[in-house]
Amino acid sequence: MIGRALLALLPLVGSVLGQTAAGYTDPDNGWQFTGITDPVHDVTYGLIFPPLVSSGPQSTEFIGEFITPIAAEWLGFSMGGAMLDNLLLVAWPNGNDIIASTRYATDYVQPTEYDGPTITTLPSSLVNSTHWKWVFRCQNCTSWSGGGIDTTSGAALAWAFSSVGVDDPSDPESTFQEHTDFGFFGMDFSTAHNANYQSYLSGTPTSPTGPPSSTPTGPTTTIPITGPTIAPTPYDYIIVGAGPGGIITADRLTEAGKNVLLIERGGPSTGETGGTYTAPWAAGTNLTKFDIPGLFESMFTDANPWYWCKDITVFAGCLLGGGTSVNGALYWYPTTNDFSTAVGFPQSWTNHQPYTDKMTARLPSTDQPSTDGQRYLEQSFNVVSQLLQGQGYSQITINDNPNYKDHVYGYSAFDFINGKRGGPVATYFQTASARSNFHYMDYTLVSNVVRNGATITGVQTNNTAIGGNGIIPLNPNGRVILSAGSLGSPRILFQSGIGPSDMISLVQADPTAGPKLVPQSEWINLPVGMNVMDNPSINLVFTHPSIDAYENWADVWSDPRPADAAQYLENQSGVFAGASPKLNFWRAYSGSDGRTRYTQGTVRPGAASTNTSIPFNSSQIFTITMYLSTGITSRGRVGIDAALRAQPLVNPWFADPVDKTVLLQALEDVVSNINTVSGMTMITPDRTQTIQEYVDAYDPSTMDSNHWVASNRIGANSTVGVVDENTLVFGTDNLFIVDASIIPSLPMGNPHGMLMSTAEQAVAKILALAGGP
């Protein structure tokens, strides 16, 4: 019954619980309950406890009631506020009777009958043409296997609602499907003890003024009083998604004094943010998987990779920091060309330098991440520099000269800080969090914006405890900013009735999302999801006797080299202070279509896979990944399927054959002088296959670089773009997007550096735009 999500929400109970129980009087029997009425389903849940005693054990029973419209096929209640390991009460009508049982679950499966409590259905229960009502006594109900409540203090309770009937209504042990809705509320049990408890049970009339210990007493003649739903606070700006785009936007808006809510569907990441997911060898420290750079490769081999978004079919991080908490942290300062009109930016965006300067002032790059200033595991750097020097490349410090990207190589640059993952979470998020006008809500999923035509009035969250319906409103002139990523923001737009009609129709057909969709007359047709880009990337695998392949990173999580682990734990230095990439290089090509395209290479010890007939020593393998970057023309499409899973619909790699020709040329060039590097052997592809054959046979799904951009690209009008030069969604008054989806074309390098400069510039334009809060 009460679903998986319920348990996950529990850490939030103190902060975002929307409803709190209050006193009310049942108009049918005059009993004074403490409880709530859920405003969505209009179901009342109430409890009455016997008076407290001053000595000896407190009573272990209570009176409870559910009063509900007949739309509720069954109702559930958790005395501990969660599904697992708690006393659960379940009831439904059967003819004129109420069928009820106590249940228990130790896993997210059908809860089974639980013995111990005694429940007695009381005479004021009823079933009529519009409602059913279960009034009951529950004895031996304040403690249960593994838990209980303290009736002198308060706790969270949970309810579950289903619009789908149980399988056998006459059988108290009937099975049923998962609830269709659920919610939480807080109750101070100490105010719910009632001196008339025994009279209620015995049917003796009670004094009409005998109050429950809670005050004020509700009027005695009206319908149950709704518990005071804590009115959801309106905000100047609501930002959806705490990836790099959302975090930077939130920091700059709060710096400007705006009242900002940042909503994130996932939970904490690094230790500094409350994350606790540590490797066994780092247990007891704050050095989580997301802190330790050397654990990057283990992101892809984890037995329980809970941090990936489960409803996006390509890799996307669903936790604080988004992609920047799980990525390789390769960090490139943008080039002038990245913001040029040639790649699709409006003229007003071309002076990126002041914004890039703001970013680098907050977050400088390092190509020497170990705290002791030494470089570790650099053998692949040495081998490939020999190779590239033979091709006329020069070694530079790459971020010292961002525009210089032809025939250059250098040490890989990262946004690590003090030997740990840095990025926007360690910088912008910290300064934002220190401001009282910054509000952060995690484990909260936004499905859609709430709008009245072109005007957005709030966002719909999945937490119905907020305001009773999960909607968080905006202040007058307030604005919503979507920062849910290149696949996440399009999905929110579709669910808001914005995008191509084929996508919105899938939302319309969904049983949960459909009813929340605006009518078709209000759909806004924009090219959402169209024009998406990602770098095609192809791996070449080599061996060289000097290489230390580091067990191909297979042991870093559970069985690291002891000295390296100890060095990192003590000093945040050594191999674990760096991620796997060691060298990056770029080269420009002229295509047969007259366009200039750039290729990027990334070199690392180890390999994702090998396919070879050449015998080799797996301790000596390393990879060169070649990407096609700026100048690429291929575009694809992202969207959703009928289950609303976000995914590529049309692959963006090699849609244009010239893109493929250029990348193939780059692959052939990079190994053209391999014979000059003594001991270097290419094992994949091997000598039975040409590079051309290798590229022709390459599985497109493994060409994905996780660098999705342009699904909501900025553009001159709603034919070519989704947002205008102020990042305002066309056809809306106050909906903006700041994430990788607005970038019109792939930048020169791995994108998050260029994206963070984009966010700095976007938020400056939003603040400058008239009409806001």
Q: Which residues bind ligand NAG (CB under 6 A)?
A: 5, 8-9, 28, 67, 116-117, 126, 128-131, 133, 140, 144-145, 265, 271-272, 285-286, 443-445, 462-463, 566-567, 570-571, 611, 617, 619-620, 686, 688-689, 697, 716-717, 719-720
Query: What one-letter code names the amino acid at 368?
Result: Q
Cα–Cα distance measured from residue 49 to residue 63, given in angstroms and rounded to the nearest whole number: 6
Nearest distance, CB of residue 336 and ligand FAD, angstroms: 18
Nearest distance, CB of residue 238 and ligand FAD, angstroms: 11
Nearest distance, CB of residue 546 and ligand FAD, angstroms: 25
Q: Which does 65 bind (CB under 5 to 8 A by kind): ligand FAD, ligand NAG, none?
A: none
Q: Which does 374 bind (CB under 5 to 8 A by kind): ligand FAD, ligand NAG, none?
A: none
Q: Which does 717 bind (CB under 5 to 8 A by kind): ligand FAD, ligand NAG, none?
A: ligand NAG
Nearest distance, CB of residue 389 and ligand NAG, angstroms: 24
Count CA within 13 A, CB hemisphere, residue 195. Answer: 9
Which H helix or E strand runs over 432?
helix 428-433
Nearest distance, CB of residue 236 and ligand NAG, angstroms: 24
Q: What are phi and psi of 414, to 5 degrees?
A: -135, 165
Q: Which does 446 bind (CB under 5 to 8 A by kind): ligand NAG, ligand FAD, none?
A: ligand FAD
Decide whether 65 or 297 has the Cβ nearer to ligand FAD. Answer: 297
CB 312 within 8 A of CB 645: yes
Decide whether 4 or 310 has the Cβ nearer to ligand FAD. Answer: 310
Cα–Cα distance measured from residue 34 to residue 20, given in angstroms and rounded to the nearest whole number: 10
Q: What are phi and psi of 434, to 5 degrees?
A: -80, -10
Count CA within 13 A, CB hemisphere, residue 436. Answer: 0
Cα–Cα distance measured from residue 195 to residue 210, given in angstroms and rounded to the nearest whole number: 8
CB 225 within 8 A of CB 231: no
> Which residue of the chain is nearest ligand FAD when measured via CB?
243
CB 250 within 8 A of CB 424: no
Cα–Cα distance measured from residue 360 to residue 348, given in angstroms and rounded to the nearest whole number: 21
Nearest distance, CB of residue 195 and ligand NAG, angstroms: 25
Q: Which does 322 bind (CB under 5 to 8 A by kind): ligand NAG, ligand FAD, none?
A: ligand FAD
Residues 6 or more apart whose Cβ sits within 8 Å of residue 93: 70, 99, 127, 132, 169
Cα–Cα distance measured from residue 187 to residue 773, given in angstroms and rounded to the nearest whole number: 36
Nearest distance, CB of residue 76 and ligand FAD, angstroms: 26
Decide whether 566 or 588 has the Cβ nearer to ligand NAG. Answer: 566
> Which DSSP letter does residue 106 get?
S
Which of 41, 179, 352, 707 does the annotation list as catalytic?
Answer: 707
Nearest distance, CB of residue 293 and ligand NAG, angstroms: 17
Render the burial of 529-550: b for 16+ CB within 10 Å, e for the rest: bbbbbbbbbbbbbbbbeebbbb
Q: What count of other Cβ atoms lies within 10 Å of the Cβ of residue 208?
A: 9
Cα–Cα distance measured from residue 687 to residue 399, given in angstroms and rounded to the nearest whole number: 37
Decide whether 345 or 598 has the Cβ nearer to ligand NAG. Answer: 345
Cα–Cα distance measured from residue 495 to residue 446, given in angstroms and rounded to the nearest whole number: 10
Nearest distance, CB of residue 338 and ligand FAD, angstroms: 12
Nearest distance, CB of residue 374 and ligand FAD, angstroms: 22
In the chain the first and final C-alpha atoms are separated, in Å, by 43
Decide whether 243 or 294 has the Cβ nearer to ligand FAD. Answer: 243
On the question of a cis peptide bond just before residue 205, with omega within 30 degrees of 0, the verdict is: no
Q: Which does 329 bind (CB under 5 to 8 A by kind): ligand FAD, ligand NAG, none?
A: ligand FAD
Decide whether 426 or 746 has the Cβ nearer to ligand NAG. Answer: 426
CA dihedral 348→349→353→355, nearest 10 degrees, is 110
Q: Which does 272 bind (CB under 5 to 8 A by kind): ligand FAD, ligand NAG, none?
A: ligand NAG
Site residues, ligand FAD (CB under 6 A) = 240-246, 263-266, 315-318, 322-324, 326-330, 445-446, 483-486, 488, 492, 706-707, 739-740, 750-753, 755
Q: Which does 328 bind (CB under 5 to 8 A by kind): ligand NAG, ligand FAD, none?
A: ligand FAD
Decide whether 408 or 547 has the Cβ nearer to ligand NAG. Answer: 547
- Using DSSP's 3-state secondary structure scheme, residue 675 falls into helix
Cα–Cα distance measured from residue 42 to residue 64, given in angstroms and rounded to the nearest whole number: 17
> Which residue of the chain is nearest ligand NAG when measured via CB?
116
Decide whether 386 or 462 has the Cβ nearer to ligand NAG. Answer: 462
Decide whether 351 or 688 has the Cβ nearer to ligand NAG. Answer: 688
Residue 179 a catalytic site member = no
Decide whether 257 or 679 has the Cβ nearer to ligand NAG. Answer: 679
CB 239 within 8 A of CB 248: no
Residues 6 or more apart whose Cβ sits within 8 Å of residue 656: 632, 633, 634
Q: Which does 144 bind (CB under 5 to 8 A by kind): ligand FAD, ligand NAG, none?
A: ligand NAG
- Using DSSP's 3-state secondary structure scheme, residue 112 falls into strand
Q: Which does 342 bind (CB under 5 to 8 A by kind): ligand FAD, ligand NAG, none?
A: none
Among candidates 590, 603, 570, which has minimal Cα distance to 670? 603
Enzyme catalytic residues: 707
